[in-house]
Amino acid sequence: MSYRTLRLCSGKAAFEAIPEPKLRLDLPAAQQRLVSAGRTVVDARVLLIVPGAPEITLLRDGRIVFKTTDEREAQQAFEWLRSLLALPGLEDRSFERA
């Protein structure tokens, strides 16, 4: 299992990591770890929003959206989140611009 990248169909201000094969995230557990790490989390039931730079959105199906135009910032945020939540790594270690 790993994350691959996918171009978003709208906008040009985000990068998205897609798990392959699909992954079911335990959002309550993810929220607990994020809060324990000192992050604010907005629970929208089917997804979590983590405000900050960049803003991170975690979806139940494992997709993660990083709202930034800076690829390096998105990669760093992914690595931090991957480590915190014990997620698989990126297949090619790069994001495709949205």
Q: Is residue 14 part of a domain?
A: yes
Q: For residue 65, what pLDDT is reported?
A: 93
Identify the bridge partners of residue 16 per DSSP, sorted by sequence position: 65
In a domain, 38, yes or no: yes
The domain that holds 55 is classified in CATH as 3.30.310.10
Q: Is residue 68 part of a domain?
A: yes
Question: In whole angstroms, what is the distance from residue 38 CA to residue 89 CA?
Answer: 23
Which pTM value belongs to this model?
A: 0.85
Whether 63 maps to a domain, the answer reads: yes
Domain count, the chain: 1
Domain of residue 73: give its range: 2-85
Tens-of-pLDDT digits for all 98 residues of the chain? 688 765 454 667 888 888 888 889 999 999 999 999 999 999 999 999 999 999 999 999 999 999 988 888 988 999 999 999 998 876 654 555 44
Give the 3-state secondary structure of residue 43.
strand
Identify whether 93 is part of a domain: no
For residue 18, tell me if it sits in a domain.
yes
Question: Is residue 32 included in any domain, yes or no?
Answer: yes
